Amino acid sequence: MLLFQKRFHEGLTSGAITLTFRAWDKPRVKPGGRYRCHPIGVLEVDSIRRVSLKEIRESDAERAGFASRAELLGYLAPYLATGSKDEVDPNTELWRVELHHGGDGDRVETALEDQLTTGDVEEIRRRLARLDAREPWTLETLRLIEKQPRVAASRLAAKLGRETAPFKVDVRKLKKLGLTQSFEIGYEVSPRGRAYLRAIGTRRRR
């Protein structure tokens, strides 16, 4: 489980913060793991390893959301055994966790599947066709999100000549099919959605 103070939420969501240090007795996350972190959404762990305080660099502090290494060490001090950065042994070890924002927490599991069978592609096509019954919009919306990830919904809707509220409702329909994922600002086409777009693109070229 990963918990963060409110001051770090914006940086985690935007991608400015991609590193954290933890004074755990043993690892509580694993590489490749996805962890819900309210209200941020999901954080995905890229790597975790044991390091000593003396190994922490200025660049690490910046990636962790601090202005300097000294500020980071001051923040960590209460979590370490001695409780004072002036008394902490530079050889004291803690966990270095690299991570990134993985979208909202209600993404369906199939969104991560990037290997589609012919049957999968046809099923997605059928379900999108039902959504397009009154007026085609699904493919145009997917293509737009693919080209402009993490762009505000209002801007995307305007490009399609649509109102923002109904546009958001439609994107949620795509998310339920595992084709998109939501962020604090904007959306991305999910691995499943990208696989589908590749599949239909390949068929068109044949």
pLDDT tens for 21-67 read 999 999 999 998 888 887 777 898 999 999 999 999 999 999 999 99
Contacts of 23 (CB under 8 A, 6+ apart): 76, 79, 80, 94, 95
Q: To the nearest whole percent, how much of the chain has pLDDT over 90?
A: 70
Q: Is the pLDDT of residue 159 over 90?
A: yes
The pLDDT assigned to 70 comes to: 95
- Per-residue HEC secondary structure of the chain comes to CCCCCHHHHHHHHHCCCCEEEECCCCCCCCCCCEEEECCCEEEEEEEEEEEEHHHCCHHHHHHCCCCCHHHHHHHHHHHCCCCCCCCCCCCCEEEEEEEEECCCCCCCHHHHCCCCCHHHHHHHHHHHHHHCCCCCCHHHHHHHHHHCCCCCHHHHHHHCCCCHHHHHHHHHHHHHCCCEEECCCCEEECHHHHHHHHHHHHHHHC
pLDDT, tens digit, for every residue of 72-81? 999 998 888 6
Return the exposure string of 172-188: e unless at least 16 CB atoms fall within 10 Å of the residue's CB, then b: ebbbebbbbbbbbebbb
Q: Is the pLDDT of residue 204 over 80?
A: no
Where residue 184 falls among pLDDT bands split at 50, 70, 90?
low
